[in-house]
Amino acid sequence: MSNKALDIEFQEAVARVNEHKEPFPADTLLKLYAYYKKATNDVGKPKSKKAIINAFKTNALFQVEDITADEAKKIYIELVNNYFLYRQ
C-alpha cells in the first residue's frame, strides 16, 4: 500500500471513530489513543486533569514506542475495522 493510500485509509478510520456515538470499551479506547498518537507523531505527555488517566495513557504510549508511524496507522486501521466488524 502506498503512503498516500495508507494516509487516506487512516483518515477514514479516524473519521469512523469520531463519528461513532456509543462509548468504546476502555481497553479499545486506550489502544486507539496510543496508535493514533504514534501515527500522528504526537506522543507528548498526556494532558488529562486526572492523574490515573494520564498513567493509563502513558502506559499505552510506552507500549507503542518501538513501532513506526506507518505501522501504527496500519494497526489503528485494523483495530477500527475489527471493532466495527465484530461489535454487531
Percent of the chain at pLDDT exceeding 90: 83
pLDDT band at residue 2 under the 50/70/90 scheme: confident
Q: How many CB atoms lie within 10 A of CB 1?
A: 12
Q: Rounded to whole angstroms, how far apart are CA atoms 26 and 24?
A: 6
Q: Is 85 helix (H, G, I), strand (E, B) or coil?
A: helix
- Residue 50 CB burial class (10 angstroms; 0-12, 13-18, ≥19): exposed
Q: Determine the structural domain holding residue 7 and report its residue range.
A: 3-86
Q: Decide if 64 contacts 38 (C-beta within 8 A).
A: yes
User: 18: domain CATH number?
Assistant: 1.20.80.10
pLDDT band at residue 42 under the 50/70/90 scheme: confident
Reported as a single tens digit per residue, the pLDDT across 43-79 is 788 888 899 999 999 999 999 999 999 999 999 999 9
Number of domains in the chain: 1
Q: Decide if 13 contacts 78 (C-beta within 8 A).
A: no
Query: Considering the entire predicted model, what is its pTM?
Result: 0.91
